[in-house]
């Protein structure tokens, strides 16, 4: 289930990056004098999309782990140990 989610996140990231690049190239073609401003905005948007993907890859799997103690406690015996 986790692998499917990460795959969908990768697909969404790829589509998002493509749409950002497509929009930036259209804007640069229409207004060549605004290329520098558009490049900065495009790079910031690309960084946010990549951040969402990296958070998906590294943070989400940690939320799927069991909610128990990270180090299991030693089993407690029912009877007291013999002193003799």
Check which CATH number belongs to the domain holding 32 and give it.
1.20.20.10
20-37 pLDDT, tens digit each? 999 999 999 999 999 999
What average pLDDT does the segment 5-32 reach?
94
Q: Total structural domains in the chain?
A: 1
Is 79 domain-assigned?
no
Range of the structural domain that residue 42 is part of: 2-59
Q: What pLDDT is attached to residue 79? A: 64
Is 10 domain-assigned?
yes
Neighbours of 21 (CB within 10 A): 13
26-83 pLDDT, tens digit each? 999 999 999 999 999 999 999 999 999 999 888 877 777 655 545 555 566 666 566 5
Backbone conformation region of residue 11, classed left if phi is above 0, alpha if psi is from -120 to 50, else beta? alpha
Confidence of residue 3 (pLDDT cuts 50, 70, 90): confident
Is 8 domain-assigned?
yes
């Amino acid at each position: 289930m986790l692998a499917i989610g990460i795959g969908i996140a990768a697909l969404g990231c790829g589509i998002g990056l493509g749409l950002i690049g497509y929009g930036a190239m259209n804007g640069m073609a229409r207004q060549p004098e605004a290329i520098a401003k558009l490049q900065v905005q495009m790079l910031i948007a690309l960084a946010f999309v990549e951040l969402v993907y990296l958070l998906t890859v590294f943070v989400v799997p940690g939320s799927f782990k069991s909610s128990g103690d990270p180090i299991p406690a030693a089993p407690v015996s029912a009877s007291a140990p013999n002193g003799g």
